[in-house]
Amino acid sequence: MKFLDQAKVYIRSGDGGGGAVSFRREKFIEFGGPDGGDGGRGGDVFVEAVQGLNTLIDYRYQQHFKAQKGTHGMGRNRTGAGGEDMVLRVPVGTQVFDEDGETLLADLTEIGQRVRLAKGGNGGFGNLHFTTSTNRAPRHANPGQDGEERWIWLRLKLIADGGLVGLPNAGKSTFLAATTAAKPKIADYPFTTLHPGLGVVRIDAREFVLADIPGLIEGAHEGAGLGDRFLGHVERCRVLLHLVEGTSEHAGKAYKTVRKELEAYGHGLADKPEIVALSKADALDPETLKEQLARLKRAAKRTPLVLSSATGRGVPEALRAILAVVDEAKGAEREAQAPAVAEWRP
């Protein structure tokens, strides 16, 4: 399935049905009078986060979604049927923006969360509603109200506990394949990963979700390479694992390049907890490994981990470090959401 994380769609709620102009004309009924029913209400347009979806590919080939119109009212005071709602089913983590691309209409972060994007038009009143003491036989009714229409943007931001960042060919996909059941494309050239990927990590009888995004290069925030559009998929991560290729020319410079792009992107990415690791350690001799570690330590101002996804060196330690930060973040969130308990004093 092709990965699609952005789509522009047109939505329109249903028009309300018109009211009816009708009179009772029955034998042996001396005073018939008006009996026109009201029109039915038009359907709404909702967006709902559902389980089992991880891409917006369904909105690649169909961009127009319209709710059903309400049925017109009928005689004998019969109200028209309401129109059926239109529900846009999207993956968890989808954000809905107005046509300007900046006004946020909805942010769906939980399964089952539903938001109304367009309200259906009300049905019109039949002529029965217009009966008065001086107008016993009104011959007019209200038309139904028009529905709402608009263009919206759907943008998917994957929800994961940890995210992998780094330059192209830093070993992110290899790390994801070694620690999860995901099968990303792996090759010995840059930009092998063209779309974000997700995997579930199992360590010490625990699980967490890990996200991998295409590599960043210098100038990514200006559109260089694949740009920084995929950084949105790690905005929701609680911790970043920054992989720096050990076989690069200078590990410290490689680290600083990615950090500059994270800071230029903004949205709080540069402030997220970060775990720094030197990858592809199996391809380095002891002297080069020591030199690259020293460079990376000076640049990151912390002691980096040493990783080799091929041999498994340092992988469990990195996963446990990610899990520790995730647990800490979840604990802080629970404390923030817990209601305050008043202190009792005698």
Contact yes or no for 154/56 (Cβ under 8 A):
yes
Whether residues 189 and 328 share a domain: the answer is yes
Whether residues 117 and 173 share a domain: the answer is no
Residue 134 assigned to a binding site:
no
The residue among 335 and 324 whose pLDDT is bigger is 324
Kindly state the average pLDDT of the residues 299-303.
Answer: 92
Give the pLDDT of residue 32. Answer: 81
Task: Evaluate if residue 341 carries a pLDDT over 60.
Answer: no
The mean predicted confidence, pLDDT, of the chain is 88
Domain span including residue 167: 162-337
Closest CA to 262 of 285, 232, 282, 294: 232
Give the pLDDT of residue 323. Answer: 92
DSSP-derived pairing of the beta strands 114-118 and 45-49: antiparallel
DSSP-derived pairing of the beta strands 149-156 and 239-245: unpaired
Residue 183 assigned to a binding site:
no
Residue 307 assigned to a binding site:
no
Q: With bands split at pLDDT 50, 70 and 90, how would you rate the model's confidence at 73?
A: very high
Contact yes or no for 162/330 (Cβ under 8 A):
no
Whether residues 54 and 77 share a domain: the answer is yes
Strand ordering across the sheet containing 197-203:
197-203, 206-212, 162-165, 239-245, 274-279, 305-306
Residue 192 assigned to a binding site:
yes
Task: Evaluate if residue 226 carries a pLDDT over 70.
Answer: no
112, 133, 156: which is the final residue of a domain? 156
Residue 173 assigned to a binding site:
yes
The residue among 185 and 95 whose pLDDT is bigger is 95
Task: Evaluate if residue 313 carries a pLDDT over 60.
Answer: yes
Residue 248 assigned to a binding site:
no
Sequence-distant (≥ 6) Cβ neighbours of residue 130 within 8 angstroms: 34, 138, 140, 141
Residue 311 assigned to a binding site:
no
- Here the CATH number for the domain that contains residue 104 is 2.70.210.12
Give the pLDDT of residue 310. Answer: 87
| Four-residue CA torsion sign, 331, 258, 91, 181 | negative
Interatomic CA distance for residues 102 and 90, integer angstroms: 19
Kindly state the average pLDDT of the residues 257-276.
Answer: 90
Task: Evaluate if residue 342 carries a pLDDT over 60.
Answer: no
Residue 166 assigned to a binding site:
yes
Closest CA to 229 of 198, 195, 258, 254: 195
Q: With bands split at pLDDT 50, 70 and 90, how would you rate the model's confidence at 1?
A: very low
Q: How many independent structural domains does the chain possess? A: 2
Give the pLDDT of residue 339. Answer: 63
Q: For the segment 76-86, what is each residue's pLDDT rounded down to a tens digit?
A: 999 999 999 99
Residue 107 assigned to a binding site:
no
Contact yes or no for 48/103 (Cβ under 8 A):
no
Q: For the segment 142-183, what is each residue's pLDDT rounded down to a tens digit?
A: 999 999 999 999 999 888 899 999 998 888 888 998 998 877
Whether residues 206 and 322 share a domain: the answer is yes
* 345 found inside a domain: no
Whether residues 200 and 328 share a domain: the answer is yes
Residue 97 assigned to a binding site:
no
Whether residues 12 and 130 share a domain: the answer is yes
Interatomic CA distance for residues 222 and 24, integer angstroms: 72
Contact yes or no for 262/269 (Cβ under 8 A):
yes
Q: For the segment 110-148, what is each residue's pLDDT rounded down to a tens digit?
A: 999 999 999 999 999 999 999 998 998 899 999 999 999
Whether residues 200 and 296 share a domain: the answer is yes
Residue 339 assigned to a binding site:
no
Contact yes or no for 186/279 (Cβ under 8 A):
no
Residue 169 assigned to a binding site:
yes
Strand ordering across the sheet containing 6-12:
64-66, 6-12, 149-156, 94-98, 104-107
Task: Evaluate if residue 344 carries a pLDDT over 60.
Answer: no
113, 133, 156: which is the final residue of a domain? 156
Whether residues 50 and 91 share a domain: the answer is yes
Interatomic CA distance for residues 79 and 17, integer angstroms: 9
Q: For the segment 139-151, what is each residue's pLDDT rounded down to a tens digit?
A: 999 999 999 999 9
131, 156, 181: which is the final residue of a domain? 156
Residue 94 assigned to a binding site:
no
Q: Is 41 helix (H, G, I), strand (E, B) or coil?
A: coil
Span between the terminal Cα atoms of the chain, in Å: 65
Whether residues 135 and 190 share a domain: the answer is no
Q: What is the 3-state secondary structure (H, E, C) of 45-94?
A: EEEEECCCCCCCHHHCCCCEEECCCCCCCECCCECCCCCCCEEEEECCCE
Q: With bands split at pLDDT 50, 70 and 90, how would you rate the model's confidence at 105?
A: very high
Q: For the segment 50-62, what is each residue's pLDDT rounded down to a tens digit?
A: 998 888 989 988 9
Residue 58 assigned to a binding site:
no
215-224, 282-291, 308-317: which has the minimum mean pLDDT? 215-224
Give the pLDDT of residue 138. Answer: 93
Whether residues 209 and 152 share a domain: the answer is no
Q: With bands split at pLDDT 50, 70 and 90, how would you rate the model's confidence at 2?
A: low
Give the pLDDT of residue 221. Answer: 66
User: How many percent of the chain have pLDDT more than 70?
Assistant: 93
The phi, psi pair for 106, rounded to 5°, reads -160, 150
Residue 103 assigned to a binding site:
no
Residue 30, phi-psi category: left (phi > 0), alpha (psi -120 to 50), beta (remainder): alpha
Q: Is 23 helix (H, G, I), strand (E, B) or coil?
A: strand
- Here the CATH number for the domain that contains residue 185 is 3.40.50.300
Residue 7 assigned to a binding site:
no
